[in-house]
Chain A
């Protein structure tokens, strides 16, 4: 393990600090990784905050060299964030401002998760806004969103970190002469190996470490929202491996040491229940089940996303969708599809639902031929019902 002094030769990397406008920013970060020798460039995906800004979740971000950050500054960030999470209602209002309309249950659980520093496991049918919740939480807290999409066969090297094998090889090749020189000075084999030993950790230093989402989330100075999407798609081994990170927010890299997060990331896991998750994982999380919203909430959502929608149309449309969801379909229409449909109807200058228009636009929210046929058969009934109940 290299100590601080020997690591100095690699400081050339540390100077990179460039702010690129847009959603990507590349900056250097000093990482305290146990042996005090970490500096590396991290690329982060930053979600854009709400256009209005100035909502309670806004956090003063330090633009200068993070190394200069003082303890007092950190305290300031914490109180800011604390204010954003001072009550369930504040959270709900804050999310509303970022464009996510949620009920008390969602707000309560997000509020609790923040205070208990626990991950949230979000379950529910496809298209109820599980992923969106995490995105909007990032916007609300004004921290980067780091996303890890799970799939079968996902392993540590894709999720946590990987050695840049190619770069290591390339450097050994480039430095071959240099190495030759070093070794040539010694005439005895044992002596050469001892000399090499003094340099060996160079190739296993943070410069050769490719940080994957999980490690990146731990490295963010000001915290981050970590979204582990569709965790049920990953293997069970991966789940077991997540346990360490989710309970202690630290990982051990044998060659470097333990990386511990400065600010605990806010973790969301989503699952579509394709398989049962392990008890151990569930025990560590707060569980949030998001069902399809009730008509009132869905109307608020539609109003929010499609401003200027005639009230009659909006009422009828939501009622219609709710009736459709009650049918046995291959895929029930999701919230985003409701919004799509509302937008389509606005484009067609509809003031209210009618059978013809509905029939022609069924394919905006139904994606299977059988589903369209099933709804089409009952379309008179459904449209009439929606119109009657809103009259």
Chain B
């Protein structure tokens, strides 16, 4: 049973349940105590020790049903015939004997053993199915069986011909069975790992090139990222509340106790969360990057105190209220469709966007604000209005420019990135999810 349990755990890991070594030991102990007799009891014992959340329980249930299910064996084998006397059975591999005897159980066992020796449980991708099938067939000595049949044929005797036919039919059935078995095992062990490959790919894909069918997954990844960042940061913030005794405050607070220290206060380190003002270029080339950046920024309520967001193309508009009113996913969707947005979507003009901002919204920027500008700095040869950006830069605490283009492209053609970069505290490439993660690290690390 231990070997079966091991294989089940491998299958479970493959399906996306992270089973630790100590948990697998627990599972073995639990089984030893509860016994194998009762299927529901075995299932709950394994479930309690291996799957530790509701989501994992679902995967576990599915995996358990698939793994411990009984597959009726194919019955295509011809019924057992009287073995003809005097046949040269010396070179006949065991599998051939089983075919002749119609020993279905034996064949199934042999296939399973062969699968184990071919290490089928390490299958991860669907492209590996052919390779594993071949390996298992080899382990079953099918080539030897073929040679045996070839040896039989020239003989020409009626009995030998019948045997050869029977073996050949049986052989085809075995090949079929192996193929189906590999298919099944692939389902059990590897379904999830394809998912994981996609996930890895999504971390590094350029957001501008992201296909729409991946949006759902991307949202999921961003939620995960945001949760991790929030967790890490909130811990840091709380830890800052503990520390050494604040002696001065303690003495002051306890004067009326006659110097007896009843109320003790501790030194506190204040950790500020930055206010963020973000200006997003929402021209078509930018829309996916803006979408995911805002999705992340608005999730980070532990890291960031307040976000005010502005979008611009030819003119500039504040959209903070949309994010306050609507759920996050809906808000970014509205930005994409531009529904109900009073914005002029002509040629991108950074100069006029800065002009709008400094004239109407400059009070949003204070000495505590981190201003983020998300754009490719391609101003269609219009006036770059560096002076206005300098005004913003002087007022704020930090000015960060996120550019979705790769650095070699900065400053080419109508890109004004080089000029703007001089005024910014930090210029970062921002085109993949990994870059977004870096942005959070920058935001947290307050100078």
A interface vs B, CB < 8 Å? Answer: 88, 104-105, 108-109, 111-112, 115-116, 118, 120-121, 123, 165-166, 169, 235-237, 273, 276, 279, 282-283, 285-289
Contact = CB atoms under 8 A, between A and B. Distances in A.
B293 to A, nearest CB: 25
Contacts of B49: 112, 286-287
Most buried by B among A120, A123, A237, A287: A287
Nearest to B54: A289
B231 A108 contact: no
A178 to B, nearest CB: 18
A105 B44 contact: yes
Given A287-B52, A289-B57, A108 B44 contact: yes
A105 B48 CA distance: 9
B48 A235 contact: no
B51 interface: yes
Contacts of A169: 260, 262
B196 interface: no
Contacts of B54: 123, 273, 289
Interface in B200-256: 227, 231, 235, 238
Interface string B136-164: 00000000000000000000000000000
A131 B262 CA distance: 37
B34 A287 contact: no
10 contacts: A105-B40, A108-B40, A108-B41, A108-B48, A109-B45, A112-B49, A276-B53, A283-B20, A283-B22, A289-B57
Given A88-B34, A287-B53, A236 B48 contact: no
Given A123-B53, A283-B23, A286-B30, 17 more contacts: A108-B44, A112-B30, A112-B48, A115-B33, A118-B26, A236-B231, A236-B235, A237-B235, A237-B238, A273-B54, A279-B18, A283-B52, A286-B48, A287-B52, A287-B53, A287-B57, A289-B54
B41 A88 contact: yes
A288 B260 CA distance: 50
A276 B224 CA distance: 12
A283 to B, nearest CB: 6
B44 A104 contact: yes
> Could you tell me the dominant secondary structure of chain A's interface residues?
helix
Nearest to A123: B54
Contact of B33 (A112, A285, A287): A112
A166 B262 CA distance: 8
Nearest to A104: B40
Contacts of B34: 88, 108, 111-112
A120 to B, nearest CB: 8
A235 B29 CA distance: 32
Interface in B242-287: 260, 262
B47 interface: yes
A165 B40 CA distance: 53
Contact of B29 (A108, A116, A237): A116
Given A108-B34, A286-B48, A235 B41 contact: no
Contacts of A287: 47-49, 51-53, 57
A109 B43 CA distance: 10
A121 B393 CA distance: 52
A235 B235 CA distance: 9
B364 to A, nearest CB: 32
9 residue pairs, one from A and one from B, having the closest CB atoms: A282-B52, A105-B44, A286-B48, A108-B44, A287-B52, A109-B48, A115-B33, A112-B30, A108-B41
> Could you tell me the dominant secondary structure of chain B's interface residues?
helix
Given A104-B40, A111-B34, A123-B54, A288 B48 contact: yes
Contacts of A237: 235, 238
A286 B47 CA distance: 9
B235 A121 contact: no
B335 to A, nearest CB: 28
Most buried by A among B34, B53, B227: B53
Contacts of A115: 33
A115 B227 CA distance: 36
Nearest to A247: B22
A169 B113 CA distance: 75
A115 B22 CA distance: 16
A276 B231 CA distance: 10
Contacts of A165: 262
Contacts of B30: 112, 116, 286
A121 to B, nearest CB: 7
A115 B30 CA distance: 8
A59 to B, nearest CB: 21
B253 to A, nearest CB: 15
A278 to B, nearest CB: 10
B44 A109 contact: yes
A165 B264 CA distance: 11
A130 to B, nearest CB: 14
Contact of A282 (B38, B41, B53): B53
B45 A108 contact: yes
B227 to A, nearest CB: 8
A105 B53 CA distance: 15
B329 to A, nearest CB: 19
A288 B54 CA distance: 9
A112 B29 CA distance: 9
B18 to A, nearest CB: 8
Interface string B43-86: 01101110111100100000000000000000000000000000
Nearest to B42: A108
Nearest to A282: B52
A277 to B, nearest CB: 8
A237 B238 CA distance: 10
Contact of B45 (A112, A120, A121, A236): A112
A121 B52 contact: yes
Contacts of A166: 262
B88 to A, nearest CB: 56
Contact of B26 (A104, A116, A235, A276): A116
Most buried by B among A123, A166, A236, A286: A286
Contacts of B18: 279
A269 B108 CA distance: 45
Nearest to B239: A237
Contacts of B22: 283
